[in-house]
Amino acid sequence: MAVYTQVSAEKAQALLRLYDVGSLVSLKGIAEGVENSNFLLETTQARFILTLYENRVDPDDLPYFHRLLAHLHEARCPVPRFIEDRKGQWLQDVAGRKACLIEFLPGISVSEPTEARAAAVGMALGQMHNALKSFTEIKPNPLGQASWRSLFGKCDAVATEQFQPGLSSRIERELDWLDANWPTDLPAVASHTDLFPDNVLFNGDRVGGLIDFYFACTELRAYDLAVTHAAWSFSNDGGSCNTEVGKALLDGYASCGELLAEERHALPVLARGASLRFLLTRLYDWINTPADAMVTRKDPLAFLKRLEYYSGVEGLGLFL
Ligand SMILES: Nc1ncnc2c1ncn2[C@@H]1O[C@H](COP(=O)(O)OP(=O)(O)O)[C@@H](O)[C@H]1O
Ligand SMILES: N[C@@H](CCOP(=O)(O)O)C(=O)O
C-alpha cells in the first residue's frame, strides 16, 4: 500500500477549487507503487491521479520531470500530462507535501508479459529514446553505476549476511567486475531506468501509457534497455527466464529505436549492472523499511537470480 500521507476530502476539494476540472466526486488511495502517495481522484468532468511526493523524490527534480514529460507528450509518446491550475501552476502544496494533479491514462499493467506485449514495450522504449534525442537537458543518474559501491556501504553488513550467507562477498565481486567492465562510450539519452511491467499500461496489446518517471535521468540508452530486459523477461521471483519474451523486447526496440552493434555487444554487462542496481536498492529497502510500514517490500534475491543468469553462459546467448 503506498499511501504515506492521507488527504481528506476537504483538502482535495480545496485543491480542486484552484483548477477548472470540475468538483470532487471521489478520492481513493492507490495500493500499487512504493515511492509516493497516489490517489485516484474523480471529478464531475474526468479522472485524475493525485500524487504527493514523499522523501525519495527531491522536489528540486520535479521541474526536470515536468519538462521531460512535456517533451514526450509533444512527441506523441503515451505519457501523462501534469494538469495546470487556472494560474498555470502545475506544482501544489497538499498536506505538507509537494503534489501534482496528473492526467489519468486508462489501461492495465500486466504481471505475466507475453511476447506481443514485450515487443510493444520495446517499440515504445525505442520511440521514447528517439524522441528524447532532442531533449538536451542533463540530469546525472543518482543510482548509476558509480553510486553502487557507496549504496552497498549503506546496507548494514550483518543484516546483509543474515539475509543470505555469502551475499556480501558476491556483491563485492560483482562491484569489482563491473568497475573493470562497465562501458563508458555508448550513446546516452534521458532514460526512464525503471520501466517495469507495473509502469506500463496496456489497452489490449497496445501500450496506452508509460508512467512513473521519477527515476528518469541521463543514462546510457542501452542500460535503459537492459533494465527493461531484466524487468520483463523473468518470472517475478527471478527463477526462470523467458528467452522469447526477451527476444521480442529487443526486436521491438531495434525496430523503432537505434541499437548500435557496440550497444548490443555491451548488453550482457549492462544487464548484470541493472540486476545489481535493483538487488542493491531492494536490499537497502529491505533492511531499512520499518516492519510496520504500509509498503510491500520487494525481494532482493529475485535480482540476485537474474544476476547469476546474466553472468552465466545462457545469459550471454540472450543478446546475440
Ligand atoms: N497517469 C496515470 N494513469 C493511470 N494510473 C496511474 C497513473 N499514474 C499512476 N497510476 C497508478 O498508480 C500506481 C502507482 O503509481 P506509480 O507512479 O508507479 O507510484 P510510485 O511512484 O509510488 O511507484 C500505478 O501502478 C498505477 O496503477
Ligand atoms: N521497480 C523497482 C522499485 C520501484 O518501484 P516503482 O513502483 O516506483 O516502479 C523494483 O522492482 O525494485
CB 24 within 8 A of CB 11: no
For ligand 1, mutation pick of 34, 62, 211, 295 (most atoms within 8 Å of CB): 211
The per-residue pLDDT for 294 is 64
List the grid coordinates of 22: 470540475
Which of 1, 5, 32, 83 gets mutated to test ligand 1 (max ligand atoms within 8 A of its CB)?
32
Q: Which residue has the CA at smallest separation from atom 18 of ligand 1?
A: 33
As given in the structure block, the three cell numbers for residue 5 are: 500521507
What is d(CA 133, CA 3) in angstroms, rounded to the nearest whole number? 35
The total number of residues written for the chain in this structure: 320
Q: Could you report the per-residue pLDDT of 137-156, keeping only the tens digit for each?
A: 999 999 999 999 999 999 99
Ligand 2: residues with CB < 6 A are: 33-35, 194, 196, 198-199, 212, 278, 281-282, 298
Residue 137 neighbours by CB under 8 Å, 6+ apart? 64, 67, 68, 190, 218
Q: How far apart are CA 248 and CA 115, in angstroms?
A: 6
The residues with which 43 forms a beta bridge, in sequence order, are 24
- How many angstroms is it from 5 CA to the middle of ligand 1? 16
Cα gap 57→52, rounded to integer Å: 10
Calculate how far, in angstroms, residue 149's C-alpha sits from the geometric centre of ligand 1: 30
Distance CA 55, CA 34 (A): 11
What does the alpha-carbon distance between residue 179 and residue 253 come to, in Å, rounded to a whole number? 27
Ligand nearest to the CA of 196: 2
Q: For residue range 84-128, what is the model confidence (pLDDT) as tens digits?
A: 999 999 999 999 999 999 999 999 999 999 999 999 999 999 999
Looking at residue 293, its pLDDT comes to: 64
Here the ipTM equals 0.95
**Mutation probe of ligand 1 site: the residue of 4, 28, 30 with most atoms within 8 A of C-beta:** 30
Give all domains of the chain, ordered by start, each with its CATH number: 9-103 (3.30.200.20), 115-317 (3.90.1200.10)
Nearest residue to 41 (alpha-carbon basis) of 58, 53, 31, 29:
29
Q: Check residue 134 and give its pLDDT.
A: 98
What confidence score (pLDDT) does residue 297 get?
A: 85
Atom of ligand 1 nearest to the CA of 107: 4
Other beta carbons within 10 angstroms of residue 131's beta carbon come to: 20
Ligand 2, from 32, 34, 279: best to mutate by most atoms within 8 Å of Cβ?
34
Single pTM value for the model: 0.96
Q: How much is the pLDDT for 198? A: 96
CA of 44 to the centre of ligand 2 (A): 32
Rounded CA separation 302/119 (Å) = 23
Instruction: Residue 197: name the closest of 244, 223, 235 by CA.
Output: 235
Asked if 201 and 208 count as a contact pair (C-beta separation under 8 A), the reply is yes
Low-confidence ranges of the chain (pLDDT < 70): 1, 292-294
Q: What is the distance in A from the centroid of ligand 1 to the CA of 2?
A: 10
Are 149 and 276 in contact by the 8 Å Cβ rule? The answer is no
Which residues make beta-bridge pairs with 48? Answer: 41, 103
Atom 10 of ligand 2, nearest CA residue: 278
Q: Pairing between strand 47-52 and 97-103? A: antiparallel
